[in-house]
Structure formats: structure tokens, C-alpha cells
Amino acid sequence: MKVEIKGFEDFEIFGEVLYIKSLSALVIADTHFGYEGVMAENGIFLPKVNYKHIIEQIESAISKTKPKMIIVNGDIKNEFDKVAIEEFTEVNDFVRYCKQKELQLFLIKGNHDNFVDSLKALGIKIFKQELLLQNFLFFHG
């Protein structure tokens, strides 16, 4: 469902995905890829729906907007002190997905995003605290 807010014509919201027209950018946050796998390691078994749901939301927004970039505003993964196998798999799948869609990928590090600097080798632009694009400031609080 498309939501328009008077005075905010530069923005469109598609489910949990924000589109900024002047940047031609999708913005998402707190994806926590690998969450279900991490929970399973701790004996809590949840259906694996998070990654699929996020991709469906992004697909819907892409079909309506044709963006050039995607900004992940923190917490692309879930664990604090390591990279769980499920996180590694889903984050890498997400990077491949963005490349397939020809989306430039930006990541502002969140408090869960330890050990993600190696993703720079895959072409992701990683920002430690904030990202300023035109007159938009992105940071993970």
C-alpha cells in the first residue's frame, strides 16, 4: 500500500520500506538477518520468515519506484559478539540480491553490526556512524 503524507512529497512508504524520490533510494533498518538461526542456536525454534518477508517488501517497492540504491540504516545482522552461520548466509544472499537488482548498497553500522567490515570487499559502502546524502542524514540510534 502506498502512503503519501502532505508536505512530504519526496517520500513514499511501501510497507516497511521508505523510498526517497530525490535520492532514488530505498531505506530499510533493523533487518536482523539470521535472527531465526541465532534463536535456534539458543533452543528457540521460529519459522524462517524474516529474510523472505524483507525481500518481498523490497521487491514490491522496486517494482513501483525503480531505485538506484538501498540504504540499510543499521542492524543488518542480529548477533553482537560473532557472526552466526545463518547471518553470514542471509547477509551474503542480500548482497547478491542487491547486485542482481543493480542497487548500490550502503550500510550505516548499528549496534549489532560488529564484524561487518569484511563486506566492503563485496562492494558495500559501510559507514561507522552516519551517512549524509544531499540534505538527508542517516544514523542508527
Q: In the prediction, which pLDDT does 44 show? A: 94
Q: What's the pLDDT score for residue 4?
A: 65
Check residue 84 and give its pLDDT. 73
- Residue 78 sits in a domain whose CATH number is 3.60.21.10
Higher pLDDT residue, 8 or 97?
A: 97
Q: For 84-141, what is each residue's pLDDT tens digit?
A: 778 889 999 999 999 999 999 999 998 877 778 888 888 889 999 999 999 999 999 7
| Phi, psi angles (nearest 5°) of residue 83 | -115, 110
2 pLDDT above the threshold of 70: no
Q: How many domains does the chain divide into?
A: 1
pLDDT interval class at 5 (50, 70, 90)? low
pLDDT at 1: 62
| 9-31 tens-digit pLDDT | 899 999 999 999 999 999 999 99
- Integer angstrom CA distances of residue 58 from 13, 31, 53, 55: 11, 12, 9, 5
Q: What is the pTM of this model?
A: 0.89
Task: Identify the three-state secondary structure at position 14.
Answer: strand
Domain residue limits at 68: 2-139
**Can you read off the three cell numbers belonging to residue 96?**
547478491
The answer on pLDDT for 65 being more than 80 is yes
Beta-sheet pairing, 69-73 with 25-28? parallel
pLDDT at 81: 74
